Structure 1
Amino acid sequence: MYSLMLVDDEDEVREGIMKKTDWAACGFRPLGAYDNGRDAAEALESLRPDVLITDICMPFMDGLELSRYAAERCRDTKIVIITGYEEFDYAKQAIKLRVSEYLLKPINGREFTAFLGRLKAELDEERASRENLCAIRQQLNQSLPLLKERFLERLSTSVMKKEEIERKLDYFQLPLRGPAFLSLAADIDPRVIPQTQGSQTNPDAGADIELLHFAVFNIFQEIFEKENGGAVFRTRDDKIGVLLSGTPEGVGPLAQTLAGHTAYSVEKYLKLTLTIGMGRACPAWTQIPESFREACSALDYRLLLGSNRILCISDVERGSSLHSMAYLEWEKKLLSALKRGKGNQISGVLSAWLEEWRSAGLPVEKCYSMLHRLLVALMNWVAETGFEEAEVFGEDPFKEMRAIRTLDQLKLWLEGLCHRVICSLGEKRSIQAESQMRLAEAYIKEQYADENLALQGVCQHIYMSTSYFSALFKQHTGLTFVEYLTRLRIDKAKELLAATGLKAYDIASRVGYPDPQYFSVIFKRHTGMTPKEFRSRTQAGETE
C-alpha cells in the first residue's frame, strides 16, 4: 500500500477524487487532501508520501513551486501534475522538476483508476529493484572496475600530480571538475548489522553482510554519482568514500542535502542507519586528501556524539581537553571500585567519566589515548595479582577497543571488562554469579521492550552458557527467565495503563508484544483482567 497526498484548490474536484476513488483496490492510502500548496508543503516533510498529486494554479503556493519544494526535500516522492492548463510551457517546467505524469482535467473515475494502476506498477517495480537482494547480488558481480576504485581511494589519501589526475579523470569518465571539492566518509552503524548469527547457525551470514554493504554502496552511487556527478568508492576498511565537486559556496550545502537523502533511503529500503562524516571544501584536486582526512575524522566522532547522524568536521572539532590530573583521578576511582568488587560503583564511575568526554567534545584520538592508558593500568594491576592477562582480557583488548564506535558501546564494553576482572579475581564463585546476574537483570530491564529479547541474547551479553545461566537466574530471582521477563513486561504495562491514555495495542508494542491479542491473553492470565478492565478499575480506584 502506497501513501498519497492530493492538492487541488477546487473543492468539487478534490472531494470528487477522494470520494469516488477506491483507494484500497488501487493500492494506495490517502494521507490527506489540501486546498493550497502552502499547507501541503508544511505537511510534506513529516508525511513523506510516496506520491504527490497537485494542481498547478492554486493560492499561496502554486503546483510548480510545490513540486520544486517536494523534489528538493523528498526525492523519493513521485510528483503528478493534474491541471486544466494545456500550455506546453507548464509541461516543460514540470519535466525539469522530475514530475512523473501530467494529467489534464477533467478526468473521469475510470481514467483516474487506470492511471493509479500504472503508477502502482511503476512503484512496485522500483521498490522491487531496491529491496530484491537477489537482484542486488547480480549487480555485485558487475561492480565498478577495481582500477577505478583504487584510483579514487588513492586520490583521497595521497598526493598525486595534477597531470595524472586529469588523465585518469578523463579515462574513468569522472566529472570532478570543480572549482571546489568536498569529501565525505560513511559507515554502516554496527549495531544494525546482523552479527548474532554465527557461521554454525547461518553459513550465509557473512555473505549477507557483504550484500548489505553493496546495497548501501548502490544507493550512494545512484544519489551522489549518477544524479549529481560525484564519485563514490569503497575503502579498504569497508567504509564508503564520496568525492563531490561544485561551487565554493554551493558544494557544502549540496553535500549536506544529498547525505540526508542517502541516509533516508538506506533506512527506508534496507532498514540500516548510517553515520556520515563531512570534510571542508577545498579549491584544488591536490587538497582532496586533506578534505577526506577531515571527513574520516568527523566520522570517528561517532564515538562521542552517537550514530545515525551527519557529522561535519567544522561542527565537531571544538578543541577541548581534560587535564591529565583529572584522568588520574578517574583511574584511581575505577581501580578502587574494582578492588572492592563494587559493580554498581564501577558503572557510576564509567558513566560520569564518559559523560565528561561527551560534554567536553574531546578529540577522538585523545579519547583513544586515555583508553589505551586505562587498559594498560588494568592489565598491570591484574598481572600484579598473579593472574594471566589473557584469562581476563582475551587475546587483543586493544583491537577490540578500536572496533568500538559509540560511547554507549564503549560503556558496555568497559563494564563487561571490569566485571570480568571482578569475577576472575574474586575469591568465591558466588561473587561472579551475583555480578553476572545483576548485569543480566540490568540488561533485561533495559531491553524488555525488544520483542526479540531471548534467553540466548542475555547469555551472550554476560558470556555464560544458557543452562548455567538458567540455574543461577532461578536461584537469584526465584523465577525462570521467561517468568521474570513476563512479570516485568506486565508490570510495565500496568504502569502505562494507569498513568497514560495510550491504546492497548501501543502499550503492547512498548513492552515487547507485537501482537495485541496475545498481549491481552497474557495480561489477563497474570492479572485476572483484560487491559481495558484493569484501566477502568484503576481509574475507579478499585485496584491495589
Structure 2
Amino acid sequence: MLSLLIVEDERWEREGLVDFLDWKSLGMEIIGTAFDGIDGYEKAIALRPDIIITDIRMPGMTGLEMAKRIREQLPDVRFVVLTGHGEFEYTREAISLHVDDYVLKPVEEKEIRRAMHRVSQECALLRSRREDNERLAEMLQFGARIAAEKRLSELLRDRVSKDLGENELLEGAEELRADAYEVIVIAPTESGIREEEVRRLIGRPCFIVGCEELPGGLAVVLPEHAPGTQSPEQTAKLLLKEWNHTMANVPAIGAGATASGLVALKDSYSQALNAAKYGLFYGHSGLIKAEAEEQAGLRFSEQAGNFLAAWQEMSRRIRLHLLALQEKEVHMQLEAMIKSIADAPGAYVAALLNALIIELSVLAEEQEGNKGSIEQLVAMHRLQDMHDYVKSYISDIMHLLEEKRNNKDKYIVDRVIRLIDERYGSGGLSLTMLAEEVFVSPNHLNTMFKKVTGRTVHQYLADIRMSKAEELLRTTKLKVSEIAGRIGVSNFSYFCSIFKQQFGMSPGEYQELMQRKRTEPRST
C-alpha cells in the first residue's frame, strides 16, 4: 500500500480530497494532511510518504518551494500538483522541478485517477529498486532505460521541452542512438500483449512504451543502425508469424513512415497509432500501413452519397420494425447497418450511430435517454463495441415501447407526474397543457389520473406546490411572495389561503416558527 500526504491550505478542498476517491482501491492510504507548505514540509519529513498531492499557492511556503525542500531530503517522493488555468508560470516551474504530474482545478475524477495511476506506477518501480539491492547495477541500468523510455513516451506525445537534445533523451540508452527511427504500434488484444515477449521476438535493441491513446497497446521504436536493418514491415511480419501459432486473435500492427532523428518521431508515431486504431476498429489483423485510413477516406468520399441514402432507408426500416415490436427484424436490420459501415470504412461512425439513437429514443418519448451517447461512442475503439452499445440501447427502447403498449394508462400517468415534477414552478402549467403533452383530452387525462393515483391532476399539482413551498419556508429566508412565484402561484392571497388550509397557519407564521426552532438552543 502506497502512503499519501495531502497538502492544501483551503480546509474544504483538503477535506474534499480525502473523500474524493476510494484511495484504498488505488493501492494508497492517506497517512496525513497538512494545512500549508510549512506544515506539509514538517509532516513529509516525519511521515516519509510515497506520494504528495499539493496545491501550488499557499501562505508561508508555496507548494513548489515545499517540493524543492522535500526533494533535497526525500528524493524518491512523488509529487502531484494542483494548479489553476491562470498559473502557467507556476506550472512551468513545476516541470523544471521534476514534479511528476499536475491536475487542473477544479479537479475531475478522471484526471486525478490518471495522475495517481501514473505516479503509483513510478512509486512501484522505485520501491522495487530499493528492495532488490543484490542486483543494484542491473537495476540502475534498467532504471535508466525506463527513464529513457519515459522521456521517449513524452516526446511521442509532444510533451517534452524543445530544448532537450538527443543526448538528454537517450541518457541511459545510448546503444539505441541512430540516424533514423521507425515506429510500429501494436493494437491491444483480449489476451493482452506482453512487452517482454515483444522484446524477445524482435531480438534487437528497441524502445517499447505503452500507448496512452490506445490502452493496452504498445509502441515500438526501432533504430536504423545500418543498411539492411530489419524494416518495420519485416518486424511486424516476424511478430505476426509467431502470434499466428499462439494467439486466437492476431492484433493489428500499424506502421509509420521513417523518422529522420528523434525530433521527427512524433509524426511517425501518430501515423502508426492511427493505422493501428483503424485496424482495431474495423476488426482487421496483421500489418496496417499509415496510408490505409487516408485511402479508405478517399474511397468513402466517392460513394458517400449512395451510402448515406442507403443508411437513411435502413434507419427508416429499423424505426418501423421497432414500432411494430419486431425484435428479430430490428436486430437483423441493425446487423445490416453495422455491416454497411464495415464495408465502407471512412464514415464518421459515432455520429451516425448517435443520430440513430436519438431517432429511436423519440419513439419511446425518452429524450433524456440519449444524453452522453456520443461521448461514449467516440471513446470506443472497436466497431463491435459500438454495435453492442447500440443493440443494448435498442433493446431498452423496445422494452419501454412494450411497457407503454401493455400498460398505456400507467405510462401516461407516470409521464404526467414527471412533467409536473419538472414544471411545477410554471404559472402556466394546467390540465389542458399536460393533456396536450401526452396527446389525450383533458377529461380523459383527469379520469385516468384519478384512477391510477386517487387524486385529480389539479389536486396532485396543488400538493406538489404546497410541499415545495413548505420546504422553501422551512429551509430558506426567501420572502413569502417570492416563494409563491417559485412554485408557480402568482396570486399571493390564493397561495396564503391554500397553504393555511393544508398546514393550519399562514406561510409567514410557518416560516417564523421554523426559523425560531432553528435558532433555539438544543437541550442537553
TM range (shorter): 0.3 to 0.5
User: What TM-score, normalized to structure 2?
Assistant: 0.42
Bigger Rg, structure 1 or 2: 2
The one of the two structures with greater contact order (alpha-carbon pairs below 8 A, sep at least 6) is 1
TM-score normalized by the length of structure 1: 0.41
